[in-house]
Structure 1
Amino acid sequence: MLVLARKLNESIVLGDDTVIKIISIDKGVVKLGIEAPKSVSIMRSELLEDVKDSNIASSKEASLDDVSLLRSLIKK
């Protein structure tokens, strides 16, 4: 992991087309501005974890439903 110190209004450049800028710093909260192509997905990590957990739970539920459906079809 690369760790960089930045001050207010300073930026970090990722690749050729992504810029992360420090917008404000207040009471331990840092606000970032991110300029990136529309093709780049940007998501907070805690939301990504929630989505991943939800997808895993859904796939398990679907699998159980699929097994039940197959069993009922076999019986017929």
Structure 2
Amino acid sequence: MLVLTRKVGESIQIGEDITVKVLEVEGEQIKLGIDAPRDVDIYRSEIYQQILEANQQASQTKNSINLLKNLKKD
């Protein structure tokens, strides 16, 4: 993991297309601005984990349905 120290108004560059800028520091909260192309999905990590779990559950459900359909054909 790369650890950087930035002040308000400073930014970091990720590749050619993504810039993360420190907008504000207030107590224990930091406001970040992220400039990225529209085709880049950006999620808070807890939301991303929920998406992964929902996709995994949907995949398991689809596999179960396909298995039941195959059993019904026999």
TM-score, with length taken from structure 1: 0.85
Give the CA deviation at 1:59. 1.1
Aligned-partner SS, 1:24? strand
Deviations 1:18-76 (A, max 9, x none): 211111111201110011122222121111111111111111111111111111121xx
Which structure's CA Rg is the greater one? 1
Extract structure 1 runs of 4+ deviating beyond 3 A: none
User: Where do 5+ consecutive residues of structure 1 fail to align?
Assistant: none
Partner of 1:71: 71
Count of residues in correspondence between the two structures: 74
Q: Distance in 2 between matches of 1:17 and 1:55?
A: 28
TM-score, with length taken from structure 2: 0.87
Q: What is the alpha-carbon root mean square deviation over aligned residues?
A: 1.2
User: Where do 5+ consecutive residues of structure 2 fail to align?
Assistant: none
